Structure formats: C-alpha cells, structure tokens
Amino acid sequence: MQSTAEKLRVGAAAEAAAEAALAAAGWKVVNLNELANNFRFVDLLAKQGSTKLLVQVKGTTTSEGKFGALPDRARGLDTLAEELDAIALYALVHLTAAGTAVRFGHAQQVASLAAERIAAYHGTLRYHLYITDFIYEVKDLAEFVE
C-alpha cells in the first residue's frame, strides 16, 4: 500500500507528464490543482483553437500499469464537460524506470469499462483499468477529440 506522500508524488509526476505531453502537442494547459489545491473531477484544462479538454489525470507505478477509476467520478467529469462545452478525457500515466507512457480515453469509456470490471468482480477491486486498455497518445488527440 502506498503512503500518502508517495500517492502525492505519483500524482504530481503524472500531472506534470500529462501537462508536458499536451503542451508539446500545441495545447495551452492550465493545471487546475495549482489554482485551487485540488479539483474533485478534473486536473487539467487544455485548449487548442476552440476545442477545450477537461482532463482527469491518473498515475500509476505498478508494473502492470493498473489504475483505479470510479464510474461515478468519470460520469461526473463528463457531465461537467458537457455543461462547459468541453470534451471529458482521462490521461492515464504509467510511470516506470524505463520511461513514462501517457494514454488518453474518453470519460464515458472509462466509466463504462470500470463499471463492467466492478460488476464482474465479487470482491474488493481496487484497480479497474490498465494502460493497455487505452491506445490514444497525445499525437492522436486531433482525431480522437473530433
């Protein structure tokens, strides 16, 4: 089990990696957690032209690239994005000694997949998603968010 300090370190590193990947691809990015200490549903706001992204960042250091995600939180992000005329995404960041992988998925996809996995498991399931569940990289966002 990770300590609180380790969770905070992984979270900050994941947010920085997602922010850097988006910025390198030409997105103007604001880390909302730096503005208000911690937002409930969203970590990053990214904008390119008239397209706005609300991005929830999840980070992991597990060897399998496992992530915890709750369907209700993903649906909440999607609802917020609809109200703000934005697109709701998750950035899943796998931090390893060999490097960092950043993948993206729509909040609806995250909610659906997490709900399916929770329903299929009859115990306590901490991890619902894997990095391999998501194929979209930052270079794919132009086609992914249309």
- For the beta carbon of residue 120, count every other beta carbon within 10 angstroms: 8
Residue spans of the domains in the chain: they are 4-144
Residue type (1 letter), 18: A
pLDDT of residue 37: 76
CA atoms within a 13 Å half-sphere pointing along the CA-CB vector of 61? 11
Does 2 have pLDDT greater than 80? no
Alpha-carbon distance 17 to 13, whole Å?
6
pLDDT tens, 95-140? 999 999 999 999 999 999 999 988 888 777 677 899 999 999 999 9
- DSSP classification of residue 136: B
Alpha-carbon distance 19 to 55, whole Å?
10
Domain 4-144 class in CATH: alpha beta
26: its two tokens? 């030409």
Please tell me whether residue 71 adopts helix, strand or coil conformation: helix
